[in-house]
Structure 1
Amino acid sequence: MTLSLDFAPLAAWWLLAIVCLPVAALVVWALVSRTRGAALRAGAATALALAIANPVINEEERAPLSTVVPLVVDRSQSQKLDGRPETTDRALDMLKDRLARFPQFELREVDAGVTEGAGAGAETRLFEALSAAIRDVPPSRLGGAIMITDGQVHDVPSGDETGLPAGAPLHVLATGRPDEFDRKIGFAQAPRFAITGKPVAMTYRITDTNVDESGAARVQIFLNGELVATETAIPGVETPLELELDRAGTNIVELAVDGLDGELTLSNNRAVAELQGIRENLRVLLVSGEPHSGERTWRNLLKSDASVDLVHFTILRPPEKQDGTPINQLSLIAFPTRELFVEKIEDFDLIIFDRYQYRNVLPSLYYDYIAEYVRGGGALLVAAGPEYAGETSIANTPLVSALPATPTGVVTARGYFPRISEEGRRHPVTRDLEGGTSEPPNWGRWFRAIDVDTPDGIVAMQGPDEQPLLVLNRFGEGRVGMILSDHGWLWARGFEGGGPHVGLYRRMAHWLMKEPELEEEALTASTDGQTLSIRRQTMADEAAPAIIRSPSGEEMEVALENNGNGIFSAQVEVGEVGLYEISQGEFSTLAHAGPVDAPEFSSMISTLDVLRPVAEASGGSIRRLLDDSGSLDVPGILPVRATASAAGGNWIGLRATEETELLGVSRYSLFSGFLGLALLLLVLAGTWVREGR
């Protein structure tokens, strides 16, 4: 309770001054001149002035305000190591119990290190969380702050700033042990883009922290999940690395170093770099037989792609043609058979035979070279015409071993709609081709098809009477595609509305050249912020659940939803930053959540050095929660005055606020009612008595 004197004048102060100042002057003159009764007249005038000024006594009822104490708990990824979660939770419970003994303290618990969005968890930002927690707290009500952390904090204020108001101590309670040691590996230099098939130069470094002496360490190098090399490296020395990307698009290079016995964590013994593979211009050899209407379709399609280097030959004059024309009068060039099919055949990414027939232009041995080229990993596309069903068919050469289908000798010549087969609806080459889902398909007809025996591989499209029209097959390490009609050019000319010839031909070419996105059986994964997206494409009707292995080693099983046409997918919210390994049967893939070089993984050993300057500058303290024996040692809590020390050997101090809250005010007027009237009558009566004498 607080008492104070105030005035509530019955008239304005200026009016009171006009009335009282002349009276006061007369009273002063009377007192100076020692006029009889001057004292009584002064008293009467004073009583009258006080009555008009109306003095009031205010009685305030106040309650003390609580002292706000934010308790910031580090829940970052590094705090999940080596028993730190248990230490944190036990210390938190003990601090809560001890703070509860002091009703003047208002605890605000803040979990920090758990953030949303892209890059979530990449940094430990405790001071940002502290600032948000005390944004609505006046500085005078803040008694101090407590942090439970491993000391690896990435938003520590710079210079002499503490992030707290003056006089508020910061106490840091550190988890972890002082004898921790760790090994990590990381890329020192890694490009973002690289050309496929050419050496890519990178460097990496192994860093041992708190390790007295260590020798060379074994490092395994993985490219897109497959082990490609194993080498040794010296810790602390930047080591060069050279490898070749085997595909365009996103490539993940992973390094894995052998761990040390008893080291803090193995999660940073792996490092990844994402490289975008860029394929150099594709070299395509197009060999056409006799000129026909569809020849220009292939040429225009391939020439329209700036990434394709096309070598095109058309057999205009076969060797058996003898018309007596002198050689020096011919404007044709000889077909460089040996150069193309012996010396430089490996330089081509794709060979296309467009209505080609065996007419002694190529020696029989060269067809065997082409078959071996495919067996070794090359790509062959055959666009068959009527010649394929006749005696000059390339099926009558040694190339037949690589061909997925042999002709029956029958050519069907009638109108039909090319249709996607049941297998083709799940195959990436023909899946979702524009206009192919309706019946009949929303595209033009073809009028010729070559009958074949039961083909090998996948029949992706069908012709008349459900005969094979597009066959895709693997041969050794390479691939072969066969179109059993030469009427694809009708789509290019827009006949009966045309058809998706560009999409179909390009998909075929890229499938033959092993583009990862067009694999029939593939498991891919990507991340967007904290969402992990898994996609499985398969020719099967069902897909088993996927197994996700987090950066900390935890595993979870996720069911894949059937999206139709051989696509199965799932989306999972993940809480850790780092490399996720997703496996499903014999397939596995990698996806990295958050920044590849996240500061959270740059150092994970608990430390007092990072926060010591800030804690000491605030008048607080920093200490470990575990003693030398590994036992939990939580300091006591004491309320202290603003000028007293805020820490001791086994205790920490919090400054109690002196702020109060006004609950109510009572006002008592001194000259109101009978009290004021009695005083005035008493003075006036005294003046009358004195004058009566």
Structure 2
Amino acid sequence: MTIEFAPFLPFPVLAALAVISLALAALGFRASIRGTALRLTAALAVLAALANPLLLQENREQLTTVVPVVVDRSQSQETAGRREMTDKALAALKERLARFPLIEPRIVEAGAAENSDSPSTRLFEALNSTISDVPPARVGGAILLTDGQVHDVPGAGQSLGFAGPVHGLVTGKADEHDRRIEVLRAPRFGIVGEEQELTFRVFDDGRSTNAPARVTVSINGEQTAIVDATPGAETPFPFKVPRGGTNVVELAVDPVAGEVTEANNQAVHLIQGIRENLRVLLVSGEPHAGERAWRNLLKSDASVDLVHFTILRPPEKQDGTPINELSLIAFPTRELFVEKIEDFDLIIFDRYQHRGVLPILYYDYIAEYVRKGGALLIAAGPEHASEDSIALTPLETVLPAAPLGTMHEVGFYPRLSDKGKRHPVTRGLDGSAVEPPHWGRWFRTVDVEPPKGETVMTGDGDRPLLVLDRAGEGRVAMLLSDQGWLWARGFEGGGPHVSLYRRIAHWLMKEPELEEEALTARASGHLLEVTRQTIGDAPGAAVVESPSGKTESLPLTEIAPGLYRGERRMDETGLFKITNGDLSTLAHVGAADAQEFKAMISTTGALQPIAERSKGYLGRLDDGRGGLRIPDILPVRSDIRVSDDKRMPIRMTDETVLKGIDTLPLFAGFAGLAVLLLAMSAMWWREGR
């Protein structure tokens, strides 16, 4: 309650009148004039009325105390029943806070910070954002519902921004343990066939054991090795990069009974295989027009080491010329096909026929080379239909098409078969999308029996022209015409001979981008993209299994013949498994070193320093008997000076809000009139005496 003035005259005027009144009173007192005191009183009463004093009384309302409740919804909270425990605790906490009308709870859910380079649980960022519009004096404390894996706890020198305590209610159990595996060091690139080293570590959080953990290593979906690793120790694993392009190295550690989650029992690393030098052996029969097309193509690639032999003088050619006068190089058959055959990535027979240059046993060596993983390309001409055809040697065991002994000679446009339109070797070749194709004609093909493997290009009357097949671990391609050189020479506009030949060679060498049946997945941020290649029917939807074990269907849309793709933004971070039919692959969404997955057991250790500094409560929700232990709420009207191990104190605010002001004029109405009449009557009475 206060007194203020709202004068009818300016204060300087009132001050002047007061000075005059006092001066006259002083003169009256000095001259001993009777009634001076009453006159001074009447003058002061009039001046007080002109000053118009007001009595003010404020009407204030007590403000509520804001208590933010931050609920941890990160992925680590999805394990071991923690979500259910959190939901039950939140409901009970709301009910208890509702008992105090002057406490205003603010519920905020905080997940992992997915926008950062390394996703982590940042509850204090969510806390600060929630109270950003509230004065610090109104914040009575904060309650965190979490598993304790919090990665932005303020340090000792950092301020919370409010003076209340921070309480932590921790989900999970005290005796939790979890096994996980991490790739510590690994190369991003590697030379194909050369040894690389990957270093990983197995962690057993929450338990100590010296028992070895079994780790299964797979490369490109095929199991490579089983390694016994000591938990906590770095384990090196040497391996060879099997192929060019992207290679996926998967590490899977055997789970242990009772662990929190198996979502972090796998790790994946991508390594790009680089072919240092592609060694190609090109063996041509007698010189012909198409020989230079092959040679020019292979020599133009700086990564290709080409060994090329042309059989200019077969053994049956005897003209009496002395050997020492010949300038020809002898064909080193034993060196190439026995001693060093394994050194070649690709062997090409270009219009080659069996004329005694190679011993018959060497063809068996070549067939064995293919079955063990080698690559063989046959570019056939008329000699393939003759009695000297290499299809009549032991090489026939790996060839997909047997010749009938005749040639079909008529002009035709090479066309893609139905499977060829879907096969990555021939799909989308320039000029193939129209009829007839926008390329030049060829004029002869080798007649063959119905071939094995896949016929991806056809000639006149749907005769096989390009056949691709697998033999054991290796691959074989047969081009049943020797007139690809017409495209190289630009005949009738030419054709895509460079793209065709290069794709055939890369398919033979098992480049992953050219696999007929393949399932690949990659992640850009949290966007997962799944690609399915098939030469069969539509593959249907892919099944995506998230790190938490949740599965969902991802529809795949055909974007090109035989090529299907689907994408979806994932809410979780970690290793996803994608399956479609018999194929499966892995993709890591988000940062591979995310803090969110480096530890999954619940803990009170991370929040203990901040709880001790702020005098807050910190304890587990689990009471050990299947129930929840939730402490009582204790409102306190002063600063919190000691912590309480059974209750959560809340510092109640003294802040109020002004709702209105009551004004009472002291000299208004009958009260002011009575004072003035009293003063005038007293003065008149005194003058009358």
TM above 0.5: yes
Match of residue 469 from structure 1:
465
Match of residue 384 from structure 1:
380
Whole-angstrom distance in 1 between the partners of 2:492 and 2:677: 121
**Higher mean Cα deviation, 343-352 or 33-42?**
33-42
Match of residue 68 from structure 1:
66
Match of residue 127 from structure 1:
124
Match of residue 487 from structure 1:
483
Q: Following superposition of structure 1 onto structure 2, how do residues 428-577 of structure 1 map, counting pairs within 5 Å?
A: 428-563=424-559, 565-577=561-573
Q: TM-score, normalised by structure 2?
A: 0.91
Deviation of 1:474 (Å) = 1.1
Aligned counterpart in structure 2 of residue 304 of structure 1, from 300, 304, 312: 300
Whole-angstrom distance in 1 between the partners of 2:443 and 2:489: 14
Deviation of 1:639 (Å) = 1.5
Q: Does 1:662 align with 2:661?
A: no
**Is the alpha carbon distance of 1:186 and 1:42 closer, same or farther for their aligned partners in structure 2, counting shifts above 3 Å?**
same
Q: Does 1:186 align with 2:182?
A: yes
Deviation of 1:572 (Å) = 4.1
Deviation of 1:256 (Å) = 2.6
Q: Does 1:229 align with 2:225?
A: yes
Question: 2:461 aligns to what SS in structure 1?
Answer: helix
Deviations 1:584-639 (A, max 9, x none): 33222111222222222222222211111111212212111122434311111122
Aligned counterpart in structure 1 of residue 286 of structure 2, from 290, 315, 324: 290
Contact 1:162–1:614 under 8 Å retained in 2: no
Deviations 1:489-529 (A, max 9, x none): 33334444333222222211111111122111112222233
Contact 1:10–1:52 under 8 Å retained in 2: yes
**Higher mean Cα deviation, 384-393 or 89-98?**
384-393
Question: 1:505 aligns to what SS in structure 2?
Answer: helix
**Is the alpha carbon distance of 1:20 and 1:197 closer, same or farther for their aligned partners in structure 2, counting shifts above 3 Å?**
farther
Aligned counterpart in structure 1 of residue 632 of structure 2, from 627, 631, 636: 636
**Is the alpha carbon distance of 1:290 and 1:20 closer, same or farther for their aligned partners in structure 2, counting shifts above 3 Å?**
farther
Aligned counterpart in structure 1 of residue 581 of structure 2, from 581, 585, 601: 585
Contact 1:646–1:654 under 8 Å retained in 2: no
Match of residue 26 from structure 1:
23
**Is the alpha carbon distance of 1:34 and 1:654 closer, same or farther for their aligned partners in structure 2, counting shifts above 3 Å?**
farther
Question: 2:412 aligns to what SS in structure 1?
Answer: coil
**Higher mean Cα deviation, 470-479 or 622-631?**
622-631
Match of residue 311 from structure 2:
315
**Is the alpha carbon distance of 1:643 and 1:579 closer, same or farther for their aligned partners in structure 2, counting shifts above 3 Å?**
closer
**Is the alpha carbon distance of 1:227 and 1:29 closer, same or farther for their aligned partners in structure 2, counting shifts above 3 Å?**
farther
Deviation of 1:421 (Å) = 0.8
Q: Percent identity?
A: 57
Whole-angstrom distance in 1 between the partners of 2:590 and 2:346: 38
Contact 2:22–2:40 under 8 Å retained in 1: no
Q: Following superposition of structure 1 onto structure 2, how do residues 67-86 of structure 1 map, counting pairs within 5 Å?
A: 67-86=65-84
Query: 1:306 is matched by which residue type in structure 2?
Result: A
Match of residue 93 from structure 1:
91
Match of residue 279 from structure 1:
275
**Is the alpha carbon distance of 1:353 and 1:30 closer, same or farther for their aligned partners in structure 2, counting shifts above 3 Å?**
farther
Aligned counterpart in structure 1 of residue 158 of structure 2, from 155, 158, 161: 161
Unaligned runs of 5+ residues in structure 2 are none
Query: 1:402 is matched by which residue type in structure 2?
Result: V
Question: 2:660 aligns to what SS in structure 1?
Answer: strand
Whole-angstrom distance in 2 between the partners of 1:596 and 1:76: 16
Q: Does 1:246 align with 2:269?
A: no
Contact 1:640–1:646 under 8 Å retained in 2: no
Contact 1:119–1:529 under 8 Å retained in 2: no
Whole-angstrom distance in 2 between the partners of 1:23 and 1:301: 120
Q: Does 1:401 align with 2:421?
A: no
Query: 1:143 is matched by which residue type in structure 2?
Result: G
Contact 2:539–2:581 under 8 Å retained in 1: no
Contact 2:623–2:629 under 8 Å retained in 1: yes
Whole-angstrom distance in 1 between the partners of 2:149 and 2:337: 62
Query: 2:83 is matched by which residue type in structure 1?
Result: P
Deviation of 1:402 (Å) = 2.3
**Is the alpha carbon distance of 1:448 and 1:30 closer, same or farther for their aligned partners in structure 2, counting shifts above 3 Å?**
farther
Whole-angstrom distance in 1 between the partners of 2:128 and 2:31: 71
Deviation of 1:27 (Å) = 5.8
Contact 1:118–1:530 under 8 Å retained in 2: no
Query: 2:602 is matched by which residue type in structure 1?
Result: S
Query: 1:23 is matched by which residue type in structure 2?
Result: I
Contact 1:118–1:594 under 8 Å retained in 2: no
Contact 2:112–2:120 under 8 Å retained in 1: no
Aligned counterpart in structure 2 of residue 146 of structure 1, from 143, 168, 186: 143
Contact 1:119–1:593 under 8 Å retained in 2: no
**Is the alpha carbon distance of 1:292 and 1:681 closer, same or farther for their aligned partners in structure 2, counting shifts above 3 Å?**
farther
**Is the alpha carbon distance of 1:212 and 1:400 closer, same or farther for their aligned partners in structure 2, counting shifts above 3 Å?**
closer
Query: 2:250 is matched by which residue type in structure 1?
Result: E
Question: 2:85 aligns to what SS in structure 1?
Answer: helix
Count of equivalent residues: 688
Question: 1:551 aligns to what SS in structure 2?
Answer: coil
Contact 1:608–1:622 under 8 Å retained in 2: yes
**Is the alpha carbon distance of 1:50 and 1:438 closer, same or farther for their aligned partners in structure 2, counting shifts above 3 Å?**
farther
Deviations 1:234-286 (A, max 9, x none): 23332221122222333332333333333333333333333233232211112
**Is the alpha carbon distance of 1:212 and 1:504 closer, same or farther for their aligned partners in structure 2, counting shifts above 3 Å?**
closer
**Is the alpha carbon distance of 1:263 and 1:622 closer, same or farther for their aligned partners in structure 2, counting shifts above 3 Å?**
same
Unaligned runs of 5+ residues in structure 1 are none
Question: 2:283 aligns to what SS in structure 1?
Answer: strand
Deviation of 1:481 (Å) = 1.0
Deviations 1:2-44 (A, max 9, x none): x43333344555x547745753773685488576455455445
**Higher mean Cα deviation, 357-366 or 517-526?**
357-366
Deviations 1:337-357 (A, max 9, x none): 222121111111111122223
**Is the alpha carbon distance of 1:679 and 1:221 closer, same or farther for their aligned partners in structure 2, counting shifts above 3 Å?**
same
Deviation of 1:178 (Å) = 1.9
Q: TM-score, normalised by structure 1?
A: 0.91
**Is the alpha carbon distance of 1:403 and 1:691 closer, same or farther for their aligned partners in structure 2, counting shifts above 3 Å?**
same
**Is the alpha carbon distance of 1:212 and 1:351 closer, same or farther for their aligned partners in structure 2, counting shifts above 3 Å?**
closer
Deviation of 1:148 (Å) = 0.9
Deviations 1:144-185 (A, max 9, x none): 1100111111111122335341x2111101112222233333
Deviation of 1:382 (Å) = 1.7
Match of residue 426 from structure 1:
422
**Is the alpha carbon distance of 1:321 and 1:652 closer, same or farther for their aligned partners in structure 2, counting shifts above 3 Å?**
same
**Is the alpha carbon distance of 1:170 and 1:35 closer, same or farther for their aligned partners in structure 2, counting shifts above 3 Å?**
farther
Deviations 1:79-137 (A, max 9, x none): 222222222111111100011111212221111125555768x3111111111111111
Question: 1:415 aligns to what SS in structure 2?
Answer: strand
**Is the alpha carbon distance of 1:51 and 1:395 closer, same or farther for their aligned partners in structure 2, counting shifts above 3 Å?**
same
**Is the alpha carbon distance of 1:460 and 1:62 closer, same or farther for their aligned partners in structure 2, counting shifts above 3 Å?**
same
Whole-angstrom distance in 2 between the partners of 1:444 and 1:673: 115
**Is the alpha carbon distance of 1:30 and 1:444 closer, same or farther for their aligned partners in structure 2, counting shifts above 3 Å?**
farther
Whole-angstrom distance in 1 between the partners of 2:472 and 2:655: 84
**Alpha-carbon RMSD:** 2.9
